Every structure is written in structure tokens, then in C-alpha cells.
Structure 1
Amino acid sequence: MRATVRDGMGAAVAAYEDKPRDQWLFDHPAQVALCCTQIWWTAEVGMAFSRMKEGYEKAMKEYHKKQVAQLNTLVTMLLGQLSRGDRQKIMTVCTIDVHARDVVAKMIAQKVDNGQAFVWLAQLRHRWSDEERHCWANICDAQFLYCYEYLGNTPRLVITPLTDR
């Protein structure tokens, strides 16, 4: 079971940019899609920081616009016809995406311009290592191997500053 989730994650991470995200979500099981959206959120924020370092000051604001557009697409999907499982998956992605959008908005408001700022390091950040073929979860200076235990397609709590702590 764990090997299957791990293999699915590797395939999903690799395929993320091959098609629009709203279509990509239907290609993968809920747990894999949810974790991979978090992996790509971490990567895309990292790319925005890199672009800012190169002198492109609006990189994070542009990424924030992309996040809002992705959320609008998900909301439109929820208004349409979906299977019960797909609806649950999309609602859970929305919950996680709203938190991700809020984190980016907070960094923009605080004029954070590098990935070493505490407001970013304090976030739970997932990353995929192609060399090790593993997912890692980072927060502050801690790093943990994702254990691939089966979680299923369940709702998530709304992420607030209190639950974030």
C-alpha cells in the first residue's frame, strides 16, 4: 500500500505540468493529488522567491494571481456535476489552496523577499526528491520523511492561525 502511494506520488509530481491543474486532479487518487498540490505550492513559491532574487519584484504577486485563478476554477468545478469522491477531493484541495493563498498574501503584505523568512519557514512545506524518490515534509528547521500511510479521501479542517500553530 505504501509503495503504491509512493509510486503514485512520483508519477503525479512528474505529470503536474503536462496538463491544466483542474484536469490533472482527476488523473490521480485524492491523497496523491492533495500531497502533490502541496509539493507544487512549495516549489512555485520557491520559484517566485528565485525570480524576486533575480530582480523581478512582482513575482510573488503574479503567483498570488495564479492561485486566485486556480481557486476560481475549483469553485466553478464544485458548482458542476461531480461524483461524490471527486467533489470531496476538490473541496479538500480548495481548503488547502485557500490557506496557501493566504500565506502568500501575508508574505506579500509583509514584503517578504526571500525563502529564509520565518513566515515562510514556519509553514508545512512538502517537497519531492527525484534522486531519492521520496516526499519530505519540512517545517522550520525540521525535516520528516512522508510515510505514505493511507489517508483516503477525507475532508480537512479549515486552516486558521490557531490550527496552523
Structure 2
Amino acid sequence: MRSTLQCLIPEAVVTYEEKPREQWVFDYPAQVALTCTQIWWTTEVGIAFSRLEEGYENAMKDYNKKQITQLNALISLLIGNLTARDRMKIMTICTIDVHARDVVAKMILAKVESAQAFTWQSQLRHRWDEGRRHCYANICDAQLQYSYEYLGNTPRLVITPLTDR
């Protein structure tokens, strides 16, 4: 299982931008899709911070609009006919996406302009290290290598400010 995940995650990271996410999500098992959407969230927020530093004032707002569009596309899939596995996968990604959207909205309201701000650093951020060919989970100054353990296709708890703490 671990070797399968280690093989599929880098492939999924690379193919993420090749088609709309609501299509891409069906190309991979749930754990791969979930991990890669979290990797890309971290990546895209990092890009928004870079654009802010370059002087583009609406970078984070533009990314937040993209998040809402992506979330709405997934929600529209839930209205249609899906297998039980696909429905669970998409519902779980929606749960994580809602939290990600709320984090970005909070940073916009607080006028956070640096990736070094605690509001961002305190989030669980997944990233793909191409040189080491591994996924890492970062929070504050801690970094853990993703263990590629089988998590299954299960629902996640709704993430609230309380569960964030």
C-alpha cells in the first residue's frame, strides 16, 4: 500500500493542473486525491503570497475566488449520480476545501501579506519535495515526513476554529 501511494502521489501532483479538478479527482484513489489537493492548496497559497510580495494586491482575493469556484464544482458533482466511494471522496474533499477557503478568507480579512505570518504557519500544510520525492506535513516550525499509511476513504470531521486549536 505504501509503495502504491508513493508511486501515485507524485503522478497526481504533476497531473493536477492538466484538467479541471472536478475531473482530475476521479483519476485517483481517495487518499491520493485528498493528499494532492492539500499539497496544491499549500502551493497555491504560496503562489498568492509571492504575487502579493510582487505588488499584486488582489492575489489572495483572486485565489479565494478560485477556491469558491472549485468548491462549487465539487458540490455540483454531489447532486449527480456517484458511486458510494466517489461520493465519500468528494464529500471529504469538500470538508477540507471549506476549511481551506475559510483560512484564506481569514487571512484576507486580517490583511496577512507574508507566508511567515502565524495565521498561515499555524495551518497544517502539505508539500511535495520533488528533490527528495516525498510529501511533508508542516505546521509552525515542525516538519514531518508523510508516512504513506493507508487511511481509507472515510469522512473527516468538520474543521472549526475549535478543532483548529
Map of 1:92-103 to 2, 5 A cutoff?
92-103=92-103
Aligned pair count reads 165
What residue number does 2:74 align with?
A: 74
Give 3-state SS (helix, strand or coil) of 1:154's partner. Answer: coil
What residue number does 2:19 align with?
A: 19
Matched, 1:30 2:68: no
> How far apart are the structure 2 equivalents of 1:88 and 1:43?
25
Paired residue type of 2:85: G
What residue number does 1:110 align with?
A: 110
TM-score (norm 2): 0.99
Paired residue type of 1:72: N
What residue number does 2:43 align with?
A: 43
**Where does the alignment leave 5 or more consecutive residues of structure 2 unmatched?**
none
What residue number does 2:121 align with?
A: 121
> How far apart are the structure 2 equivalents of 1:139 and 1:42?
11
> How far apart are the structure 1 equivalents of 2:89 and 2:164?
21
> How far apart are the structure 2 equivalents of 1:111 and 1:36?
27
TM-score (norm 1): 0.99
After TM superposition, what 4+ stretches of structure 1 lie above 3 angstroms from structure 2?
none
**1:6 CA drift (Å):** 1.1
Give 3-state SS (helix, strand or coil) of 1:57's partner. Answer: coil
